[in-house]
Amino acid sequence: MALIALGWLVYPSFIVVLGVIGHHLRQNRSQSLPPGPPPKPLIGNYLDVPKAEPWKTFSQWKKLYGDLVYVKVLGDKLLILNDMESMRELFEKRSQKYSDRPSFLMAKYMGIENNLSFAPYGPDWRQGRKLIHGTVNQEAVQKYHSLQEDVAARFLRDLVEYPSEVMKHLHMATAHIIASITYGFSIDTPSNVDLQYLDEFAETERIVLKSVVPGAYLVDMIPQLWYLPSWVPFNSIRRTAERGRQRVSDIVHRPIEQVEQDMKRGVSPASFVSDHLREGESDEAIRQQLPWVAWSIYEAGNDTTSGTMLVFMHAMACFPEVQARMREEIHRVVGTDRLPSFVDRERLPYINAAIKEVYRWNPNSPLGAPRKLQDADVYRGYYIPKGTIVMPNVWLLSRDQDSGIDPELFSPERFLDTHVTKTAIDPYSYAFGFGRRMCPGRFLADNSVFMLVTSMVATMRISKPKDSHGVEKPWNPPYIPAGLVSFPYPFEVDIEPISDKAVAVVKGRAMSID
Ligand code: HEM
């Protein structure tokens, strides 16, 4: 079996190599490709790119090869961008060419390319972005302030009551914000149906994330496998694809049907979906796309927000002195008689710097989200072939040492010109991506993060877990090591209210919503 598998691996790669040689001969171009580690026959740089934390290796390559590094991994051509200038130039100034996404056969078959995050650059994507923009642009997100404040208050109450279930509470809090905005799912008393959707979304998310990782499915590297008859032993490609397709279609369409039913019964609150359905959207194309765009919002918005909060809690437990400074500022500005609210934000410079530091310390997408070059290009004298997958090494930007403060430390001071001569690169310029495909949900996300962070620091102490003798346990939460996103897996962490007064404030505020 191994030999057969190897044969399948070698044969198409051989064709790819011949094709690449022929293509190169035909191009007769004068510019060379950007530098990079020398490729090996057939497998190219496959062995040079580590499976875990490839962004760290790419960063070391900067010293060897410079800001643009070109590698070939089996059939794929990859360009890694190691400086902000190239990211701006290619993704922003040349966005016409650099706004497509790589395509994966399995993801395409499962319908995942209908999701805006993975959609090819074109009219459908443009229409979807327009729909999302109307709901989460900088102005529009203000109408979710009270929802976010209420969710934060309930989150704190749940923490007071069941602190050991912090991971579950966090997941519910971020899911509720996004599910409520998208589908109008109830925040006050989520029904079993709503909860079931949340579980199914999470399960589908795993299918999605696997399907857009190069090499996760062999058929993406060797498309010929798709045509293997299904009776061939161990060939489950089509079955896997069909199962995924049904699952995705189900979770995309069922919540919409639910909203339609609720609307008929007159019990559907305002939401992205119900607003569009209510408007009696006449454009058939938009009606068709609505379920997919709604799913895109949920899918792109939930784990990223909760993942950012996991990074925050990890940092708080490791750097209690920063946590104390944050709390001091909140108590000085807001007082201790109420929870923080959005109106306080502009008077909280240290908190705002700490939120930037959360985005920087361990960025959610260390390699951004990859783009596919639509037409061959020349940049800095180098030739970049059509179809090259271009990845911004955001992680490297996050390690900048301009402020003079060690990048491994969690130190909001690096963003405050009252503390350093030169401030660090602002993470809002890279953590949410670039150009036309920049995260449309960034204002909503940032508001959720602000509200959850500030409420937690104001009332809860976050610390490393302790054993029954009160001694800290060895603790180093592992992060998702590769793929589109990287944040900690759910971990154990100690959460306790800072005082009886904080408990009373939390309970009082939560009761006022119930
Ligand atoms: C802290 C939380 C979040 C982070 C760190 C984050 C980060 C990102 C990044 C890095 C990208 C790729 C941009 C690029 O290709 O240059 C992206 C895309 C996207 N994000 Fe977010 N995001 C967050 C929250 C949200 C939320 C709450 C929403 C909901 C509206 C959302 C919706 C999207 C969508 C739909 C895309 C795909 C855009 C496209 O391909 O055109 N994100 N996000």
149 and 341 Cβ atoms separated by less than 8 Å? yes
C-beta of residue 493 within 8 angstroms of C-beta of residue 464: yes
What is this model's ipTM? 0.99
- Residue 118 DSSP code: G
pLDDT of residue 266: 87
Q: How many domains does the chain have?
A: 1
- CATH number for the domain that contains residue 130: 1.10.630.10
On the CB side of 348, CA atoms within 13 Å amount to 29
- Taken in order 341, 201, 106, 120, the sign of the CA dihedral is negative
- Residue closest via CA to ligand 1's atom 16 equals 433
pLDDT of residue 187: 61
In a domain, 371, yes or no: yes
Of 304, 358, 485, the one to substitute when testing ligand 1's pocket (max ligand atoms within 8 A of C-beta) is 304
Task: Say what the pLDDT of residue 29 is.
Answer: 62
Residue 218 in any domain: the answer is yes
Distance from residue 170's CA to the centre of ligand 1 (Å): 19
- DSSP codes of every residue in 370-422: -EE-SS-EEETTEEE-TT-EEEE-HHHHHT--TTSS-TTS--GGGG-TTT-SS
In a domain, residue 16? The reply is: no
* Residue at 20 is within a domain: no
Q: Which residues make beta-bridge pairs with 79?
A: 70, 390
Assess if residue 13 is contained within a domain: no
12, part of any domain? no
pLDDT tens track, the chain, 514 positions = 333 333 333 334 444 444 444 444 444 466 899 999 999 988 899 999 998 999 999 999 999 999 999 999 877 899 999 999 999 999 999 999 999 999 988 899 999 999 999 999 999 999 999 999 999 999 999 999 999 999 999 999 999 999 999 999 999 999 999 999 999 987 666 666 677 788 888 888 888 888 887 777 888 888 888 888 878 887 888 888 899 999 999 999 999 999 999 898 988 888 999 988 887 666 788 888 999 999 999 999 999 999 999 999 999 999 999 999 999 999 999 999 999 999 999 999 999 999 999 999 999 999 999 999 999 999 999 999 999 999 999 999 999 999 999 999 999 999 999 999 999 999 999 999 999 999 999 999 999 999 999 999 999 999 999 999 999 999 999 999 988 899 999 999 999 999 999 999 999 999 998 7
The residue contributing the CA closest to ligand 1 atom 21 is 439
* Domain annotation covers residue 26: no
The boundaries of the domain holding residue 499 are 31-513
* E strand or H helix at 81: strand 76-81
Token digits of residue 166: 């912090």
pLDDT in tens, 240-279: 889 999 999 999 999 999 999 989 898 888 899 998 888 7
Q: For position 360, what pLDDT does the model report?
A: 98
381 Cα–ligand 1 center, Å? 32
* Contact residues of ligand 1, CB 6 A cut-off: 116-117, 129, 132, 136, 296-297, 300-301, 304-305, 308, 364-365, 368-369, 431-434, 437-441, 444-445, 449
Question: Considering the domain boundaries, does residue 359 fall inside one?
Answer: yes
Q: In the numeric block, which tokens belong to residue 309?
A: 């909060």
State the amino acid at position 431 in one-letter form: A
Q: What's the rounded Cα separation, in Å, for the pair 420 and 233?
A: 64
* Cβ contacts of 426 within 8 Å, gap of 6 or more: 356, 415
pLDDT at 447: 98
Q: Per the annotation, does 439 bind a ligand?
A: yes
Q: Supply the pLDDT for residue 381.
A: 96
Core vs surface per residue 430-468: b (16+ CB within 10 A) or e: bbbbbbbbebbbbbbbbbbbbbbbbbbbbbbbbbbeeee
